[in-house]
Protein backbone atom coordinates (compact mmCIF):
# COMPACT_ATOMS: atom_id res chain seq x y z
CA UNK A 1 0.00 0.00 0.00
CA UNK A 2 3.05 2.29 0.27
CA UNK A 3 4.11 4.73 -2.45
CA UNK A 4 0.58 5.37 -3.72
CA UNK A 5 1.30 9.03 -4.43
CA UNK A 6 4.68 10.51 -5.38
CA UNK A 7 3.73 14.17 -4.92
CA UNK A 8 1.56 16.12 -2.50
CA UNK A 9 -2.08 15.14 -2.84
CA UNK A 10 -5.14 17.18 -1.76
CA UNK A 11 -5.93 17.24 1.94
CA UNK A 12 -8.84 14.93 2.72
CA UNK A 13 -10.97 16.84 5.26
CA UNK A 14 -13.25 13.85 5.87
CA UNK A 15 -10.81 11.61 7.74
CA UNK A 16 -11.83 10.65 11.27
CA UNK A 17 -10.90 8.25 14.06
CA UNK A 18 -11.92 4.62 13.65
CA UNK A 19 -10.28 3.20 16.78
CA UNK A 20 -9.70 4.05 20.43
CA UNK A 21 -5.98 4.27 19.75
CA UNK A 22 -6.50 6.97 17.12
CA UNK A 23 -8.93 8.81 19.40
CA UNK A 24 -6.28 8.90 22.11
CA UNK A 25 -3.74 10.39 19.70
CA UNK A 26 -6.16 13.13 18.63
CA UNK A 27 -7.22 13.83 22.22
CA UNK A 28 -3.59 14.33 23.22
CA UNK A 29 -3.01 16.73 20.32
CA UNK A 30 -6.08 18.76 21.32
CA UNK A 31 -4.96 18.76 24.96
CA UNK A 32 -1.48 20.05 24.11
CA UNK A 33 -2.89 22.68 21.75
CA UNK A 34 -5.14 23.87 24.57
CA UNK A 35 -2.13 24.25 26.82
CA UNK A 36 -0.30 26.21 24.14
CA UNK A 37 -3.23 28.59 23.64
CA UNK A 38 -3.56 29.15 27.36
CA UNK A 39 0.18 29.74 27.90
CA UNK A 40 0.62 32.12 24.96
CA UNK A 41 -2.85 33.72 25.26
CA UNK A 42 -3.50 33.19 21.55
CA UNK A 43 -7.28 33.37 22.09
CA UNK A 44 -9.11 36.33 23.56
CA UNK A 45 -12.18 34.34 24.56
CA UNK A 46 -13.20 30.76 25.14
CA UNK A 47 -14.87 28.83 22.32
CA UNK A 48 -18.55 28.15 22.74
CA UNK A 49 -19.83 24.57 22.55
CA UNK A 50 -20.51 24.67 18.80
CA UNK A 51 -17.14 26.25 17.98
CA UNK A 52 -15.33 23.75 20.22
CA UNK A 53 -16.94 20.81 18.39
CA UNK A 54 -15.94 22.29 15.01
CA UNK A 55 -12.41 22.98 16.27
CA UNK A 56 -11.96 19.43 17.53
CA UNK A 57 -13.32 18.08 14.24
CA UNK A 58 -10.76 20.08 12.25
CA UNK A 59 -7.90 18.87 14.41
CA UNK A 60 -9.14 15.29 14.10
CA UNK A 61 -9.31 15.56 10.30
CA UNK A 62 -5.80 17.06 10.08
CA UNK A 63 -4.18 14.49 12.36
CA UNK A 64 -5.96 11.53 10.77
CA UNK A 65 -5.13 12.57 7.21
CA UNK A 66 -1.48 13.22 8.05
CA UNK A 67 -1.23 9.78 9.67
CA UNK A 68 -2.94 8.28 6.63
CA UNK A 69 -0.57 10.11 4.29
CA UNK A 70 2.47 8.93 6.22
CA UNK A 71 1.20 5.35 5.98
CA UNK A 72 0.77 5.80 2.22
CA UNK A 73 4.32 7.02 1.73
CA UNK A 74 7.00 7.97 4.26
CA UNK A 75 7.35 11.75 4.36
CA UNK A 76 4.26 12.17 2.22
CA UNK A 77 2.61 15.58 2.04
CA UNK A 78 -0.87 16.97 1.48
CA UNK A 79 -1.75 20.40 0.12
CA UNK A 80 -4.49 22.56 1.57
CA UNK A 81 -5.69 26.06 0.86
CA UNK A 82 -5.38 28.87 3.37
CA UNK A 83 -7.33 31.28 1.20
CA UNK A 84 -10.06 33.12 3.05
CA UNK A 85 -11.98 33.22 -0.26
CA UNK A 86 -12.34 29.44 -0.13
CA UNK A 87 -12.46 28.83 3.64
CA UNK A 88 -15.17 31.40 4.33
CA UNK A 89 -17.44 30.25 1.51
CA UNK A 90 -20.60 28.41 2.55
CA UNK A 91 -21.41 25.35 0.47
CA UNK A 92 -22.96 21.93 0.92
CA UNK A 93 -19.86 20.60 -0.85
CA UNK A 94 -17.35 22.07 1.60
CA UNK A 95 -16.18 20.07 4.61
CA UNK A 96 -16.55 21.59 8.07
CA UNK A 97 -12.82 20.97 8.56
CA UNK A 98 -12.15 23.64 5.93
CA UNK A 99 -13.24 26.43 8.25
CA UNK A 100 -11.87 29.98 8.23
CA UNK A 101 -9.84 29.39 11.41
CA UNK A 102 -7.95 26.48 9.84
CA UNK A 103 -4.76 28.53 9.17
CA UNK A 104 -4.57 29.61 12.83
CA UNK A 105 -4.94 26.05 14.05
CA UNK A 106 -2.31 24.79 11.64
CA UNK A 107 0.11 27.44 12.89
CA UNK A 108 -0.39 26.23 16.46
CA UNK A 109 0.10 22.60 15.43
CA UNK A 110 3.29 23.57 13.58
CA UNK A 111 4.78 25.61 16.44
CA UNK A 112 8.18 24.39 17.61
CA UNK A 113 6.79 23.40 21.01
CA UNK A 114 3.98 21.42 19.37
CA UNK A 115 5.72 19.56 16.53
CA UNK A 116 2.57 17.96 15.14
CA UNK A 117 2.70 19.43 11.63
CA UNK A 118 5.41 20.56 9.24
CA UNK A 119 4.23 23.42 7.03
CA UNK A 120 5.91 24.21 3.72
CA UNK A 121 4.77 27.42 1.95
CA UNK A 122 3.88 26.99 -1.70
CA UNK A 123 3.10 29.20 -4.70
CA UNK A 124 1.34 32.52 -4.55
CA UNK A 125 -1.20 31.59 -7.23
CA UNK A 126 -2.66 28.15 -7.70
CA UNK A 127 -5.71 26.10 -8.57
CA UNK A 128 -7.43 24.13 -5.83
CA UNK A 129 -8.86 20.95 -7.29
CA UNK A 130 -10.47 18.01 -5.54
CA UNK A 131 -13.45 15.69 -5.95
CA UNK A 132 -15.91 18.49 -5.15
CA UNK A 133 -14.59 21.72 -6.60
CA UNK A 134 -12.05 23.50 -8.79
CA UNK A 135 -11.26 27.05 -7.66
CA UNK A 136 -8.45 29.30 -8.88
CA UNK A 137 -7.33 31.60 -6.10
CA UNK A 138 -4.54 34.01 -5.28
CA UNK A 139 -2.94 33.20 -1.97
CA UNK A 140 -0.48 30.89 -0.32
CA UNK A 141 -0.91 27.24 -1.06
CA UNK A 142 0.47 25.18 1.78
CA UNK A 143 1.74 21.64 1.97
CA UNK A 144 1.58 19.71 5.22
CA UNK A 145 3.36 16.63 6.47
CA UNK A 146 3.36 14.77 9.77
CA UNK A 147 5.54 16.38 12.45
CA UNK A 148 7.83 14.58 14.86
CA UNK A 149 5.15 13.93 17.50
CA UNK A 150 2.72 12.38 15.01
CA UNK A 151 5.53 10.27 13.56
CA UNK A 152 6.36 9.14 17.08
CA UNK A 153 2.74 8.15 17.75
CA UNK A 154 2.54 6.15 14.52
CA UNK A 155 5.59 4.15 15.50
CA UNK A 156 4.83 3.85 19.20
CA UNK A 157 1.20 2.74 18.84
CA UNK A 158 1.74 0.98 15.50
CA UNK A 159 -1.11 2.83 13.81
CA UNK A 160 -2.51 1.35 10.59
CA UNK A 161 -5.08 2.33 7.95
CA UNK A 162 -7.69 0.45 9.96
CA UNK A 163 -7.39 3.10 12.71
CA UNK A 164 -8.67 5.79 10.36
CA UNK A 165 -12.21 6.12 9.03
CA UNK A 166 -14.15 8.51 6.85
CA UNK A 167 -16.77 10.92 8.13
CA UNK A 168 -20.34 10.57 6.87
CA UNK A 169 -20.47 14.37 6.62
CA UNK A 170 -19.29 14.41 2.99
CA UNK A 171 -21.98 15.28 0.45
CA UNK A 172 -22.63 12.20 -1.67
CA UNK A 173 -25.33 13.67 -3.95
CA UNK A 174 -23.60 16.07 -6.33
CA UNK A 175 -25.25 18.25 -8.95
CA UNK A 176 -23.09 19.64 -11.76
CA UNK A 177 -23.96 22.33 -14.27
CA UNK A 178 -23.48 22.00 -18.03
CA UNK A 179 -19.97 21.37 -19.30
CA UNK A 180 -18.16 24.53 -20.35
CA UNK A 181 -15.69 22.51 -22.40
CA UNK A 182 -15.66 18.91 -23.58
CA UNK A 183 -12.81 17.95 -21.27
CA UNK A 184 -13.96 19.90 -18.20
CA UNK A 185 -16.87 18.92 -15.96
CA UNK A 186 -19.53 21.46 -15.14
CA UNK A 187 -19.30 23.51 -11.97
CA UNK A 188 -21.01 22.18 -8.86
CA UNK A 189 -24.48 23.63 -8.35
CA UNK A 190 -26.03 24.38 -4.97
CA UNK A 191 -29.51 22.93 -4.54
CA UNK A 192 -32.35 22.69 -2.05
CA UNK A 193 -33.05 19.18 -0.77
CA UNK A 194 -36.22 17.42 -1.83
CA UNK A 195 -37.73 14.14 -0.69
CA UNK A 196 -35.98 12.49 -3.62
CA UNK A 197 -32.49 13.83 -2.86
CA UNK A 198 -32.91 12.99 0.83
CA UNK A 199 -33.87 9.40 -0.03
CA UNK A 200 -30.99 9.11 -2.50
CA UNK A 201 -28.54 10.33 0.12
CA UNK A 202 -29.85 7.94 2.76
CA UNK A 203 -29.64 5.00 0.35
CA UNK A 204 -26.05 5.83 -0.56
CA UNK A 205 -25.07 6.29 3.08
CA UNK A 206 -26.35 2.77 3.77
CA UNK A 207 -24.27 1.46 0.87
CA UNK A 208 -21.17 3.35 2.04
CA UNK A 209 -21.62 2.06 5.58
CA UNK A 210 -21.71 -1.52 4.30
CA UNK A 211 -18.67 -0.92 2.11
CA UNK A 212 -16.77 0.54 5.05
CA UNK A 213 -17.35 -2.60 7.11
CA UNK A 214 -17.06 -5.16 4.31
CA UNK A 215 -14.28 -7.75 4.21
CA UNK A 216 -12.67 -6.72 0.93
CA UNK A 217 -9.23 -7.78 -0.25
CA UNK A 218 -7.33 -6.70 -3.35
CA UNK A 219 -4.09 -8.15 -4.66
CA UNK A 220 -3.37 -5.32 -7.13
CA UNK A 221 -0.26 -3.35 -6.00
CA UNK A 222 -0.57 0.29 -4.89
CA UNK A 223 -4.32 0.04 -4.32
CA UNK A 224 -5.87 2.17 -1.59
CA UNK A 225 -8.08 -0.56 -0.15
CA UNK A 226 -9.80 1.87 2.22
CA UNK A 227 -10.97 4.18 -0.55
CA UNK A 228 -14.56 2.94 -0.59
CA UNK A 229 -16.81 5.99 -0.34
CA UNK A 230 -19.20 6.36 -3.28
CA UNK A 231 -21.05 9.44 -4.50
CA UNK A 232 -23.66 10.07 -7.19
CA UNK A 233 -23.14 12.81 -9.75
CA UNK A 234 -26.05 14.33 -11.67
CA UNK A 235 -25.45 16.49 -14.71
CA UNK A 236 -26.62 19.61 -16.52
CA UNK A 237 -28.17 21.01 -13.31
CA UNK A 238 -30.89 18.39 -13.64
CA UNK A 239 -31.54 15.46 -11.29
CA UNK A 240 -33.18 13.68 -14.23
CA UNK A 241 -29.80 13.41 -15.96
CA UNK A 242 -26.92 11.23 -14.90
CA UNK A 243 -26.74 9.93 -11.36
CA UNK A 244 -23.92 7.43 -11.86
CA UNK A 245 -21.89 6.19 -8.93
CA UNK A 246 -18.31 7.46 -8.68
CA UNK A 247 -15.51 6.72 -6.24
CA UNK A 248 -14.19 3.49 -4.81
CA UNK A 249 -10.75 2.07 -5.59
CA UNK A 250 -12.22 -0.60 -7.90
CA UNK A 251 -13.42 2.00 -10.41
CA UNK A 252 -9.82 2.93 -11.18
CA UNK A 253 -8.84 -0.66 -11.86
CA UNK A 254 -8.95 -2.33 -15.24
CA UNK A 255 -11.72 -4.84 -15.91
CA UNK A 256 -9.31 -7.78 -15.69
CA UNK A 257 -7.77 -6.45 -12.46
CA UNK A 258 -11.16 -6.24 -10.78
CA UNK A 259 -12.08 -9.79 -11.72
CA UNK A 260 -8.72 -11.27 -10.81
CA UNK A 261 -7.66 -9.13 -7.87
CA UNK A 262 -10.72 -8.45 -5.68
CA UNK A 263 -12.13 -10.85 -3.10
CA UNK A 264 -15.21 -10.10 -0.96
CA UNK A 265 -15.88 -12.28 2.08
CA UNK A 266 -13.40 -14.85 0.66
CA UNK A 267 -15.39 -15.01 -2.61
CA UNK A 268 -14.28 -14.00 -6.09
CA UNK A 269 -16.43 -11.40 -7.79
CA UNK A 270 -18.58 -11.42 -10.92
CA UNK A 271 -19.21 -8.38 -13.09
CA UNK A 272 -22.38 -7.89 -15.13
CA UNK A 273 -22.12 -6.27 -18.54
CA UNK A 274 -25.29 -4.91 -20.11
CA UNK A 275 -24.16 -4.93 -23.73
CA UNK A 276 -25.31 -2.25 -26.19
CA UNK A 277 -27.52 -0.77 -23.46
CA UNK A 278 -27.44 2.82 -24.72
CA UNK A 279 -28.85 1.88 -28.11
CA UNK A 280 -31.31 -0.64 -26.66
CA UNK A 281 -32.69 1.97 -24.26
CA UNK A 282 -33.17 4.40 -27.14
CA UNK A 283 -35.07 1.79 -29.12
CA UNK A 284 -37.17 0.99 -26.07
CA UNK A 285 -38.05 4.61 -25.42
CA UNK A 286 -39.00 5.08 -29.07
CA UNK A 287 -41.11 1.92 -29.03
CA UNK A 288 -39.09 0.58 -31.96
CA UNK A 289 -37.55 -2.82 -32.61
CA UNK A 290 -33.76 -2.89 -33.03
CA UNK A 291 -32.23 -4.64 -36.05
CA UNK A 292 -30.94 -8.17 -35.77
CA UNK A 293 -27.39 -8.92 -34.68
CA UNK A 294 -24.67 -6.74 -33.21
CA UNK A 295 -25.89 -3.14 -33.12
CA UNK A 296 -22.32 -1.90 -33.54
CA UNK A 297 -21.75 -3.97 -36.68
CA UNK A 298 -21.48 -1.69 -39.74
CA UNK A 299 -19.89 -4.24 -42.06
CA UNK A 300 -22.78 -4.01 -44.54
CA UNK A 301 -21.71 -0.38 -45.09
CA UNK A 302 -18.08 -1.32 -45.84
CA UNK A 303 -16.77 -0.65 -42.34
CA UNK A 304 -14.98 -3.79 -41.06
CA UNK A 305 -16.00 -5.53 -37.83
CA UNK A 306 -12.47 -4.87 -36.55
CA UNK A 307 -13.58 -1.24 -36.18
CA UNK A 308 -16.20 -2.16 -33.55
CA UNK A 309 -14.47 -0.54 -30.51
CA UNK A 310 -14.15 2.75 -32.41
CA UNK A 311 -17.72 2.55 -33.71
CA UNK A 312 -18.93 2.10 -30.14
CA UNK A 313 -17.07 5.27 -29.06
CA UNK A 314 -18.56 7.26 -31.95
CA UNK A 315 -22.09 6.09 -31.13
CA UNK A 316 -21.67 6.94 -27.45
CA UNK A 317 -20.41 10.37 -28.47
CA UNK A 318 -23.38 11.15 -30.73
CA UNK A 319 -25.81 9.97 -28.04
CA UNK A 320 -24.25 12.32 -25.48
CA UNK A 321 -23.49 15.40 -27.58
CA UNK A 322 -25.93 18.30 -27.94
CA UNK A 323 -24.67 19.28 -31.38
CA UNK A 324 -23.40 17.58 -34.55
CA UNK A 325 -20.20 15.65 -33.91
CA UNK A 326 -17.46 17.79 -35.42
CA UNK A 327 -14.41 15.69 -34.67
CA UNK A 328 -13.62 12.09 -34.11
CA UNK A 329 -13.58 11.06 -30.43
CA UNK A 330 -10.30 10.34 -28.69
CA UNK A 331 -9.04 6.78 -29.11
CA UNK A 332 -11.25 5.97 -32.10
CA UNK A 333 -8.37 5.91 -34.57
CA UNK A 334 -6.86 2.96 -32.74
CA UNK A 335 -9.40 0.72 -34.48
CA UNK A 336 -10.86 2.86 -37.29
CA UNK A 337 -8.22 3.69 -39.93
CA UNK A 338 -7.87 7.24 -41.25
CA UNK A 339 -9.06 6.17 -44.69
CA UNK A 340 -12.55 5.88 -43.15
CA UNK A 341 -13.77 9.39 -42.37
CA UNK A 342 -15.96 10.40 -39.45
CA UNK A 343 -18.73 11.40 -41.85
CA UNK A 344 -18.69 7.91 -43.37
CA UNK A 345 -19.01 6.33 -39.93
CA UNK A 346 -21.86 8.66 -38.93
CA UNK A 347 -23.72 8.03 -42.18
CA UNK A 348 -23.38 4.27 -41.68
CA UNK A 349 -24.64 4.55 -38.10
CA UNK A 350 -27.74 6.47 -39.26
CA UNK A 351 -28.46 3.88 -41.96
CA UNK A 352 -28.06 1.05 -39.44
CA UNK A 353 -30.35 2.78 -36.93
CA UNK A 354 -32.88 4.93 -38.83
CA UNK A 355 -35.58 4.56 -36.14
CA UNK A 356 -33.48 6.41 -33.55
CA UNK A 357 -31.23 8.53 -35.76
CA UNK A 358 -33.19 11.68 -34.85
CA UNK A 359 -31.95 11.27 -31.26
CA UNK A 360 -28.30 11.50 -32.28
CA UNK A 361 -26.94 14.92 -31.28
CA UNK A 362 -29.90 15.50 -28.96
CA UNK A 363 -27.86 15.05 -25.75
CA UNK A 364 -29.95 12.15 -24.49
CA UNK A 365 -27.09 10.17 -22.94
CA UNK A 366 -27.47 11.59 -19.45
CA UNK A 367 -31.24 11.09 -19.58
CA UNK A 368 -30.81 7.42 -20.49
CA UNK A 369 -29.01 6.86 -17.18
CA UNK A 370 -32.21 7.80 -15.37
CA UNK A 371 -34.72 5.93 -17.54
CA UNK A 372 -35.74 2.35 -18.19
CA UNK A 373 -37.74 0.96 -21.12
CA UNK A 374 -41.37 0.05 -20.51
CA UNK A 375 -42.37 -3.57 -20.15
CA UNK A 376 -43.79 -3.57 -23.69
CA UNK A 377 -40.56 -2.19 -25.07
CA UNK A 378 -38.56 -4.80 -23.20
CA UNK A 379 -40.75 -7.51 -24.66
CA UNK A 380 -40.29 -6.06 -28.12
CA UNK A 381 -36.53 -6.10 -27.74
CA UNK A 382 -36.66 -9.69 -26.53
CA UNK A 383 -38.61 -10.88 -29.58
Is 93 in contact with 189 (CB distance < 8 Å)?
no
Q: What is the pLDDT of residue 135?
A: 54
Q: Which residues contact 100 (CB under 8 A, 6 or more apart)?
A: 84, 87, 88
The two beta strands, 117-121 and 9-10, are: unpaired
Instruction: Tell me the pLDDT tens digit for each residue of 313-338.
Output: 999 999 888 888 888 898 999 999 99
Is 117 in contact with 67 (CB distance < 8 Å)?
no
Please report which confidence band the pLDDT of residue 129 belongs to, taking 50, 70 and 90 as the band edges.
low
Alpha carbon distance 43, 17 (integer Å): 27
Give the H or E element holding residue 136. Answer: strand 134-138
Please report which confidence band the pLDDT of residue 3 belongs to, taking 50, 70 and 90 as the band edges.
very low
Q: What is the pLDDT of residue 273?
A: 76
Q: What is the pLDDT of residue 374?
A: 40
Report the pLDDT averaged over residues 184-212: 94
Is 365 in contact with 315 (CB distance < 8 Å)?
no
Q: Which of 65, 69, 62, 143 is nearest to 109 (CA)?
A: 62
pLDDT over 90 at 361, yes or no: no
Percent of the chain whose predicted confidence (pLDDT) is above 90: 65
Alpha carbon distance 205, 227 (integer Å): 15
Measured between its terminal Cα atoms, the distance across the chain in Å is 50
Give the H or E element holding residue 143. Answer: strand 141-146
Q: Which of 173, 188, 235 is nearest to 89 (CA)?
A: 188
Q: What is the pLDDT of residue 183?
A: 66
Instruction: Tell me the pLDDT tens digit for each residue of 59-115.
Output: 999 999 999 999 999 999 999 988 888 899 999 999 999 999 999 999 999 999 999
Q: How many CA atoms lie within 13 A of 51 on its CB side?
A: 9
pTM of the model: 0.74
Report the pLDDT averaged over residues 231-251: 91
Q: What is the pLDDT of residue 184?
A: 77
Alpha carbon distance 275, 294 (integer Å): 10
Q: What is the dihedral of CA 98, 101, 105, 111, to 10 degrees?
A: 120
Amino acid sequence: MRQIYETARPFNPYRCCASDAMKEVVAEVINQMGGYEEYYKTRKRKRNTKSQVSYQGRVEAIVCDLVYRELEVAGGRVHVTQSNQVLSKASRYKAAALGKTLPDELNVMAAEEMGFVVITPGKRQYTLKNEFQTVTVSGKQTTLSAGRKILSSIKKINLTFADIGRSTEAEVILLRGPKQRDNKPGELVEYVDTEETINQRQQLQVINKWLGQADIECSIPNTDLYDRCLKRIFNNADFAQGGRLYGGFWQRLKHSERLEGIIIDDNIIAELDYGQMGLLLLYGLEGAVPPEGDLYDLSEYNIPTSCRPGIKKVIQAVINTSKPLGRIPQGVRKTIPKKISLSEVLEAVKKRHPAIAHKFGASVGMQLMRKCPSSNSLRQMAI
